[in-house]
Amino acid sequence: MPNKPTKETFVTEITPRSEDFSRWYLDLVRRAELADYSPVKGCMVIRPYGYAMWELIQQALDARIKATGHVNAYFPLFIPNSLLTKEAEHVEGFSPQVAYVTHAGGEELEEKLVVRPTSEAIIGTMYANWVQSWRDLPILINQWANVVRWEKKTYPFLRTTEFLWQEGHTAHETEDEAEAETLKILDLYADVCESVLAMPVVKGRKTESEKFAGALRTYSIEALMGDGRALQAGTSHNLGQNFAKAFDIKFQARDKSVQHVWGTSWGVTTRLVGGLIMTHGDDSGLVLPPNVAPYQVVIVPIGRENWRETVLPKALEIQRALAGAGVRVTLDERDERPGWKFAEWELRGVPLRLEIGPKDIEKSAVLVARRDTREKQSLAMDGLPQRILQLLEEAQANLLQRARQFREEHTQRAGSYAEFREMMEGRPGFVIAPWCGAADCEARIKTDTQATIRNMPTANVPPGSCVRCDNPAKAEAWFAKAY
């Protein structure tokens, strides 16, 4: 569990969300001690309270990754430059963003090393050694790692030069198996976002211009932030045989022929912590879904100066009872006014606050305040842990429901380009429209409106014509302005 927050802050007040969403986000990240700027350009420090959220996300994701038959491993941070350049599209996509180690151990290196921006190149090289026969397939490996992509403009959690992620890399006998894996992981990601982060996502395929450098097809999950901008929350790539051909990953098939494997790769990052903040937060600070809250309950003792004698013993007893029921609970024993403590823990988004004073003890009750609805109610001490677990479930479900409703209210369909452009004023959320499939049309829409195609949830071809160019529609696309 993270340290108790200290009074020391860099930001004393947070800008109201309604006034300036971006300022609100930056203030909140620092004031709630989620992250801090570092002396390294574009790199942030993830502080204990923010890191505890990432650990909860990791646990949920890792359990699901293992339950679907994958195993973890670890591959080197450095990639010899000659390996990165083997897959032509891949190197073209990543080389502008890479960091190079040129000197080490007091010498200039013969070949410069790339600090991994992603690990297809190094993992593909190893798979080529490990795979000989169809019996060696599938390979279902994941790694938890840091990666580096030199970004011109960075933003805490959403876009940083170094970030933490998991990257799955799999190799299969057949094209169908690789496609099934790609979609299975997309579902797994959507499940974690919805059931843990209470963040609904749209699953769909990316356009050719937005796909991963070197992939056959990229799928993504897209969430809608509180300001009406979309956030790409995870991607799953069907790599086809591109990397297998570039890295010579071959196997003897059941029919004795020698074939290239079919690959996938997929990842989610610390960006999810940013998505969580932007989905649920309000003017008072964070609002955390219980499943990803480092503390699900804070107990605040109320009373006169002698509260340490009159109230604290009962508060400790409740803390023990809740902890025993598996609740992540903290007790704020600091010598501060209760009102100050309430504001601090609201800022940190703790789902439930329990207030307990001498009168509550007399009545054998506690006052419970929900962060998500701000409702207060008195609960009997008797059976408290069960009731708290129930309230946590209710808060979790309510946040997902609220976020779903917000997305529904911010999703529209456009019939004409005039209507599309009008809808795209400001930050409206998603606009669904038919699209011809042409990259120049997609680019033109972006120039006109700043909106990009987030993804295409269905492979069905819609009737009618493209929202912009009047050519026959090839796909129904979800557009939005995005982070």
Nearer to its own copies, 44 or 445 (CB): 44
Q: Which of 20, 63, 92, 132 binds its own copies (CB under 8 A)?
A: 132
Instruction: Give the C-alpha separation, 296 to 275, whole Å.
Output: 19
Nearer to its own copies, 276 or 423 (CB): 276
Instruction: Give the C-alpha separation, 177 to 186, whole Å.
Output: 14
Q: Measured from the CB of residue 141, what is the shortest distance to its own copies in angstroms?
A: 7
Q: Which of 20, 63, 73, 418 binds its own copies (CB under 8 A)?
A: 73
Q: Which of 26, 28, 91, 140 binds its own copies (CB under 8 A)?
A: 140
Nearer to its own copies, 133 or 364 (CB): 133
Candidates 137, 203, 144, 195; CA nearest to 170 is 137
User: Is 96 a residue that touches its own copies (CB under 8 A)?
Assistant: yes
Nearer to its own copies, 122 or 399 (CB): 122
What length does the chain have? 483
Nearer to its own copies, 58 or 449 (CB): 58
Nearer to its own copies, 39 or 463 (CB): 39
Residues 8-47 as x/- pattern, contact with its own copies by CB under 8 A: x---------------------------x-xxx--xxxxx
> What distances in angstroms separate CA 435 from CA 254, 426, 429, 474, one per listed residue?
42, 22, 18, 6
User: Is 71 a residue that touches its own copies (CB under 8 A)?
Assistant: yes
User: Is 133 a residue that touches its own copies (CB under 8 A)?
Assistant: yes
Greatest Cα pair distance, the chain, in angstroms, is 83
- 469-476 long-range contacts (CB < 8 A, ≥24 apart) are 469/436, 469/438, 469/441, 471/436, 471/438, 471/441, 472/436, 473/434, 473/435, 473/436, 474/435, 474/436, 474/437, 475/434, 475/435, 475/437, 476/432, 476/433, 476/434, 476/435
Instruction: Give the C-alpha separation, 287 to 237, whole Å.
Output: 32
- Chain position carrying tokens 């002396």: 39
Helix (H, G, I), strand (E, B) or coil at 80: strand
Pick the stretch among 147-155, 260-268, 277-285, 433-441 that binds its own copies (CB under 8 A): 147-155
Positions in the binding site for its own copies (CB under 8 A): 1-3, 6-8, 36, 38-40, 43-48, 51-52, 54-55, 66, 71-80, 83, 96-106, 112-113, 115, 122, 125-126, 129-133, 135-136, 139-141, 145-146, 148, 150-152, 162, 164
